[in-house]
Amino acid sequence: MAKRRRVPSLAMNRLSADVGGTSAESVWSRLNWGESTMRMRRTTNGLGFTLVELLVVIAIIGVLVALLLPAVQQARESARRTQCSSRMRQLGIAMQNYVESHGVYPFTSTWATGSSNATCPASAVPIPNNRAHNWVEFILPYVEKQQVFDRIDFDQNNSQTGNAQLLTSQKFSFITCPSNPYADSTTTVDNAVYCCGPTEQQGLHYVVSAGTSRPDNTTPDCPSLNSFCSTTANIWQCSHEYNSDQPGIFALRGISRIRNADVSDGLSKTFLLGERNAELTRHGGAFSTIFPAAYMAQRLNSPSADPGNTSLYRQNAGFSSHHPGGGHFVMADSSVKFISDAIDFNVYCLLGDRNDGNIVEAP
């Protein structure tokens, strides 16, 4: 604390006389107070921000946020992509456990046998009354959902009240891609209800591979029949013989009986299942019995897809993904590969077929 200066008595008397008799001590105190106040104001003004400085700080913060936000989003997508890959690997392991127990891969679905257009004899299908169900239900015991499987009434279609309530009362995360923004939706992007299964069913983001089977006819990406991308029209598989006549491990829909020994191109070189954006097709429901599989005749993340009309299954029911640059596929040996959507179309199709003799490595 600064020492107060003492004023000589003679000076004090003169100061008192000059201010009309007011006490010199009082006047001197006021002068000191004014000086202190001015000093404090000068100090305070020196520590403050000007408007220009404040705007510069705000601009810097904005630039930092703009730089950091993409990195944060990229880190989040990387975590979701890892989680997606892990879920798909578990599906691949579940499939192989099913094969170990039953000797063959599960049916794609049994819908064909319940259709008036079906050509399958009833004896070909080991499902009571040939009711409609799909592969997701068949592998439930191998993804720790035995209690759900045990409650399914296979003597009824999965769209019947009891089965439908059971299958739609919970969310099955093992068939859900965490990067898909429609993961919690029960409708397509154009708000259509998923076809051919329980109403209010969740989407199926991981579908089995039917290889180069064509979906009834040509697709925008594969306009020629009987070509490298469309080798057969046999999508209604009704065979219960070993090594069924189909290019992929699974039929697009229907009954088949494929063993690991029937994948002669190699388990590590053949697609077992892959990603699909369920919301793009009305057959994208988790328990749909029409197209719980995808085909190679449309390129991965094909630009010819038409999200505005989800009834166009030839355009929209191929493999697709919300991951930037490609999508995950599970090989028949349960390994997971991230396939670029820039992959050569011919190589892509060859990876989908199990026994064409053209062995290629997944890039």
Model pLDDT for residues 331-363, shown as the tens digit of each residue: 999 999 999 999 999 999 999 999 999 999 998
Q: Using pLDDT thresholds of 50, 70 and 90, give the confidence band for residue 11.
A: very low
pLDDT for 112 equals 54
CA 189 to CA 177: how far, in whole Å?
A: 16
Residue 1 pLDDT level (bands cut at 50, 70, 90): very low
Is residue 164 pLDDT above 90, yes or no?
Answer: yes
Say whether pLDDT at 124 is over 70. Answer: no
Lowest mean pLDDT among 119-133, 200-214, 255-269, 345-359: 119-133
pLDDT score at 116: 39
Query: What pLDDT score does 52 carry?
Result: 82
**Residue (of 100, 184, 178, 199) closest to 142 by Cα position:** 100
pLDDT at 253: 80
R_g of the chain, CA atoms, integer Å: 36
Give the separation between CA 219 and CA 309, rounded to whole angstroms. Answer: 15
∠ CA 321-323-328, nearest 5°, is: 65
pLDDT at position 215 over 90: no
Gap between the Cα atoms of 358 and 92, Å rounded: 23
Q: What is the pLDDT of residue 111?
A: 63
Tell me the pLDDT tens digit for each residue of 67-80. Answer: 777 777 777 888 99
The mean per-residue pLDDT over the stretch 248-260 comes to 86
pLDDT for position 131: 78
CB 275 within 8 A of CB 327: yes
d(C-alpha 120, C-alpha 81), whole Å: 40
Rounded to two decimals, the pTM is: 0.78
Q: What angle do CA 26, 30, 36 make, to 5 degrees?
A: 145
Taken as a whole, the chain contains a residue count of 363
170 CB-near residues (< 8 Å, 6+ apart): 148
pLDDT attached to residue 224: 87
Q: DSSP letters along 307-339, please?
A: TT-TT-HHHHSS---SSTTEEEEEETTS-EEEE
Residues of the chain above pLDDT 90, percent: 56
Q: What is the mean pLDDT of the chain?
A: 83
pLDDT at 120 over 60: no
Among 20-29, 137-146, 198-207, 218-227, the minimum mean pLDDT is found in: 20-29
Query: 3-class SS at 362?
Result: coil
Per residue in 280-333, pLDDT (tens digit) is: 999 999 999 888 999 999 999 999 999 999 999 889 999 999 999 999 999 999
